[in-house]
């Protein structure tokens, strides 16, 4: 279904944090594909989770817009990972998330995409409770936005 989009996509984010690796591809008109893997999973339990599609269906984000396309907790070989990724407007320079333990997690922001993740199940209920993030814009101003699906 997305073969042509995938063939034309380019890498926006490719990053390893600990045992977890995430790759985000981006394409025309809002196409996005995300895949996350756990390199510590035993050979026969290796797996991944992610998403593929065109969540905006050609509609542009506002310059300061942030839209989650993945938000929640995935599990590979009994290892949970809380994950948020999605698309950002042209004025978004940085995104930070403060975990329940007070740790500041910096998202990677690149080519109109963002991604951050942390071990555990912290974002399990994110479909019921919006997730607060601090967004920094190109003019250095900041504001709190809320991620939801």
Percent of the chain with pLDDT over 70: 96
44 confidence band (pLDDT: 50, 70, 90): low
Of residues 56 and 7, the one with the higher pLDDT is 7
Distances (CA, A) of 38 to 29, 74, 82, 99, 144: 30, 11, 13, 21, 30
Report pLDDT digits (tens) over 20-41. 899 999 998 889 999 998 888 7
pLDDT at residue number 62 = 95
Whether the predicted pLDDT of 65 surpasses 90 = yes
Collapsed DSSP state (helix, strand, coil) of residue 54? coil
Mean pLDDT of 115-127: 89
58 confidence band (pLDDT: 50, 70, 90): low
Q: How does strand 20-26 pair with strand 32-38?
A: antiparallel
Mean pLDDT of 105-120: 95
Phi-psi region of 27 (alpha: psi -120 to 50; beta: other; left: phi over 0): beta
Please tell me the pTM assigned to this model: 0.90
């Amino acid at each position: 279904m997305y073969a042509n989009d995938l063939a034309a996509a380019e890498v926006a984010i490719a990053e390893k944090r600990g045992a977890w690796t995430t790759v985000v591809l981006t394409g025309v008109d809002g196409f996005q594909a995300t895949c996350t893997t756990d390199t510590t999973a035993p050979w026969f339990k290796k797996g991944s989770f992610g998403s593929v599609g065109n969540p905006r269906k050609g509609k542009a984000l506002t310059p300061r817009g942030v839209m989650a396309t993945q938000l929640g907790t995935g599990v590979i070989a009994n290892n949970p990972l809380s994950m948020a990724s999605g698309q950002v407007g042209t004025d978004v320079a940085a995104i930070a998330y403060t975990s329940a333990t007070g740790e500041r997690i910096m998202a990677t922001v690149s080519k109109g995409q963002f991604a951050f993740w942390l071990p555990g199940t912290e974002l399990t209920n994110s479909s019921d409770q919006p997730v607060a993030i601090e967004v920094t814009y190109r003019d250095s101003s900041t504001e709190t936005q809320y991620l939801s699906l």
